[in-house]
Amino acid sequence: MSPVGQQHAIRFITSPFKHKRFTSMRSELFRIPLEWGGVPLFGGGALLVALLLGVGLYALWSKRAHGAQADLWGLLPPTGVAAAILLLTPRLAPAGVPIRAYGVLLVAAIAVGLVMSIHRARSRGIDADTVLSLALWWLFIPGIVGARLFFVIEYWEVRYAALPWREAVFDAFRFTEGGLVVYGSLIGATLGFLAFAWRYRLPALALADLIAPSLLAGLAIGRVGCLMNGCCFGGPCELPWAVTFPPTSPPFEEQLARGELHGVRLRTATDGQSLTIDLPAEHAGERVLAVDGVATRSAYEAAAGFRAAYAAGRPVELRLARGETLRLPASTLRRSRPVHPTQIYSTINAALLAWLLWTLYPLRRRDGTVLLTMLTLYPIGRFLLEMIRIDEADFLGTGMSISQNLSLVLLAAAALGWWVVLTRPAALWPGISQGSDSKVGTPAPTAA
């Protein structure tokens, strides 16, 4: 008999796998070296020369073909940004430039959304340049800023609070490796969209109807990037299509920190100051005072004990408040326990909504109905998906994640929007909704 209580051996949470599990995650596709054959590619190397040469040749061709300089001024901001990135690359990525699956699929999502929007916009009297300007400068950049800012705020205590400020700032800019929240992107992109509609004197509802299917199509592709990156993961799953993730992935790290790889599951108590056992059932609700001999007051402190034990391949001891000590077997798992592929669920959900909105667009009788359909159906799907996702914590004691709370807010806003749209006479703005030969997108006059 131990002086602190009887020793208990804990079995693993799940039975041996009955099905062949899908494995997932390949966050880095390949890496571009800083030099090739002794020739530097980044910094002041070959890529910068190629960029400046390409822009210069385009400028000469454009001047001869059109004789105007207005379009050339528009090249300066993106060219300057690209040149700055190339110059800073050797300092930011001394081991080479990693090409992440998340970033590649993010670019693919933007490309697909642009093609869809341009295709439909041309039939409505809007030129491709206007759509490109809207997508890249007024939607994409504000959307990325909003999505990343939302992520940083939501996970500040977990991921950033303990970092030195320089490291925290640097990590906050690494959005191509994941960490973008859809609702944050929606907020940022909405602000940019409203500014664009006001600037170019375009009806916001008619324009929103036009681009809504593209947003959902892009989201469907982006969620595949989430699967490759391992973010936005679901809870435990024993279904045949469950997926597992490798070490260092978010699901693996979460399960390791909670003790699931060692056969238990710890959770933060309702007081927010202590840990309790969720599994196994015979000890459910008991407080945990120490993990691996180290006193713990939070899940963050407990995670260190589990990680140390896993790395050393040794058992773990949990000291409980009532005096018992639970001895957990050493974990031999080399991948996470099976979880719901919520990223794929999200992809299917977004793809079906994109198809529905694309089909609905030519059938609508009022501007705003396509947008409101999206704002009604997407929050419902997101709310349900959040019920099996475990990567977001309870928000302000509501018992729901922050995304579920925002889903309810969006549904309320959509209900108000439907009331406004349906109480107005049925009408479509002819400049966008019914097509027009006139050029759309003239900037509004500004005060002198």
Q: Which residues lie across from 7 on neighbouring strands?
A: 325
3-state DSSP assignment of residue 141: helix
Q: What is the largest CA-CA distance in the chain?
A: 92
Tens-place pLDDT, residues 175-203: 656 677 777 888 888 899 899 888 888 88
* Residue 26 among known ligand-binding residues: no
- CA–CA gap between residue 131 and residue 123 (Å, rounded): 12
Report the percent of the chain where pLDDT is more than 70. 84
The 3-state DSSP class for residue 318 equals strand
Higher pLDDT residue, 205 or 394? 205
Q: Tell me the C-alpha distance between 225 and 29, whole Å.
A: 12
96 exposed, middle or buried (CB, 10 Å; 0-12, 13-18, 19+)? middle
Higher pLDDT, 442 or 246: 246
Q: Rounded to whole angstroms, what are the CA distances from 206 to 102, 147, 200, 361, 423?
A: 31, 25, 13, 10, 17
To the nearest 10 degrees (0 to 180), the angle between helices 182-199 and 141-154 is 150
Cα(55)–Cα(72) distance, integer angstroms: 9
Q: Over 80: is that where the pLDDT of 355 sits?
A: yes
- Whether the per-residue pLDDT at 352 is higher than 80: the answer is yes
Cis peptide leading into residue 90 (ω within 30°)? no
Q: Please determine, for residue 446, whether its predicted confidence score (pLDDT) is greater than 60.
A: no
Least confident residue range of 103-107, 131-135, 297-301, 409-413: 297-301
A 10 A CB-CB count for 86 gives 21
**Beta bridge partner(s), residue 288:** 275, 320
- Whose CA is closest to 130, among 116, 117, 140, 143? 117
Total Cβ atoms within 10 A of residue 294 = 12
What is the C-alpha separation between 427 and 424, in angstroms, rounded?
A: 8
Pick from 188, 190, 187, 186: nearest CA to 205: 190
**Whole-number Å distance between alpha carbons of 419 and 316:** 58
Contact yes or no for 196/134 (Cβ under 8 A): yes
- Whole-number pLDDT of residue 242: 94
Amino acid at 205: L
pLDDT (0 to 100) of residue 139: 84
Question: Are 342 and 233 contacting, i.e. CB atoms less than 8 angstroms apart?
Answer: yes
DSSP β-bridge partners for residue 317? 327
Per the model's pLDDT, the better-predicted residue between 269 and 424 turns out to be 424
Through-space distance between the first and last CA atoms of the chain, rounded to whole angstroms: 87
pLDDT band at residue 241 under the 50/70/90 scheme: very high
How many whole angstroms separate alpha carbon 326 and alpha carbon 306? 14
Angle between helices 369-386 and 204-229 (to 10 degrees): 30
What pTM was computed for the model? 0.78
For residue range 36-70, list pLDDT tens digits in order. Answer: 888 899 888 899 999 899 888 887 877 776 665 55
Query: Which pLDDT tens digit goes with each residue over 86-139?
Result: 888 888 788 888 888 888 888 898 889 888 988 888 877 777 777 887 887 788
The pLDDT tens digits for 251-289 are 999 999 889 999 888 887 766 667 888 877 777 888 888
The token pair at 282 is: 């015979």
Q: How confident is the model at residue 349 (pLDDT cuts 50, 70, 90)?
A: very high
**Comparing C-alpha atoms, which of 3, 10, 9 is closest to residue 263?**
10
* Res 407 pLDDT > 80: yes
